[in-house]
Structure 1
C-alpha cells in the first residue's frame, strides 16, 4: 500500500488511518475536529459528494439517527464532504421536509481543500467531489 500521505492511499484493516483536521458543524456550531479527537474509539468516517443533493440526506440522516447505537459500542460517526462548513450549517438548518438535514447527532466535516477525500482515496479529481 502507498503511504497515508499518498493520494492513492485506501484505508485498510491493520493500516493507520490518514490524519485529518478541519472545521465541522457539531450541534449547530463550528468546531475544529481532527483524527486525534477520536483516539481510543472506533470511527466511522463516511463521505458524500455534495450538500443539498437528493440521495445523500437519507443516508446521512440514517447515520445520525443511529449515532447513539454507535456510541454504545465506543464508536463515533463523522460525515465529510468537500462543501464548506457554512454550506453544511445551511443544509442542517433546512428542515428535512424541505430537503435539508435538520438536527444532526453527528459532526458534518468540511473538506474544502479536498485533502481529506484525497488522502482517503475517495476524491474524483475531475469534478472535485468525494465518492460515497
Structure 2
C-alpha cells in the first residue's frame, strides 16, 4: 500500500510513555499536536535488528526535536512487553528507557491500515512514515526484516521536506542540508544541470 501524499490514518491504542506510565487511550494526532510525526514500526521486541534501531532513534532524539518532529514507535507487542524491554539491561538484550512513546498494536489493526504487515508472519515490516503538520504522509519506507534503517537518512529527508516548505525549491538527488535546491521550472532545472554537470556538456 502506498500512503505517500495521502492523509495519515490516525489511531488510538495502548502505549508506554517516556515517563514510564502506561495508558490505553494514546491518540497519535492528539499526542503530536501540530508537530511533524515520524511514525516507525518494528517487528518484535527482544529481537536482533530492532534494538539497534530504537537505540539509534533514542540517541538522535534531540535532532528530531530540533526539527519539530515527534517520534512514535509501534510493534505488535503488549505495553507490558515494552515495559519489560526498556527495563532490561542492554547486556541482556534490553534497550533501556526511551525518550519517545512505544505503542502496542496487539490487534495488528495499525500495521494493517498502514499496509505494512508481513505477508506470512503477522508482524510488521520495518517501516517508517514521515507525516507533515497537515497530517499528510510525505515519505514512507519499508524494509524487509533483515535490513536495518539508516536514521541519518530519515533526518536528511526531514531536512529536505522542511527546506522545500521554507523555500519552495525542490531537492535534487543526494541533496543534503546546506546545498542548493532547484527552482521548479524549465529554466531552474537548466540552470542547475548546467552548473552541476558542466563537465558533461558537449563542447
- Normalised to the residue count of structure 2, the TM-score between the two structures is 0.58
Q: Deviations over 1:29-54 (max 9, x none)?
A: 21332122213110011011111001
How much does 1:126 deviate? 2.8
1:4 aligns to what? none
Q: Deviations over 1:41-81 (max 9, x none)?
A: 10011011111001110111100111121111110111100
Structure with greater strand share of residues: 1
Q: Point out 4+ residue stretches in structure 1 off by more than 4 angstroms.
A: none
Other structure's SS at 2:120 match:
coil
How much does 1:125 deviate? 4.6
User: Which residue, 102, 123, 126 being the options, matches 2:117?
Assistant: 123
User: Hey, what's the Cα distance between the residues in 2 that align with 1:29 and 1:40?
Assistant: 23
Report whether the alignment pairs 1:23 with 2:17.
Answer: no
Higher alpha-carbon deviation: 117-126 or 103-112: 117-126
Q: Deviations over 1:77-113 (max 9, x none)?
A: 1110011111111111101121101011111110000
User: Hey, what's the Cα distance between the residues in 1 that align with 2:91 and 2:99?
Assistant: 18
Structure 1: which 5+ runs fail to align? 1-8
Larger radius of gyration: 2
- Normalised to the residue count of structure 1, the TM-score between the two structures is 0.87
How much does 1:19 deviate? 1.1
The Cα RMSD (Å) is: 1.3
Alignment of 1:1-132 (within 5 A): 9-12=1-4, 14-27=5-18, 28-31=20-23, 32-37=25-30, 38-132=32-126
Residue pair 1:117, 1:130 contacting (<8 A) in 2 also: yes
Q: Which of the pair has the greater relative contact order for Cα pairs under 8 Å at 6+ separation?
A: 1
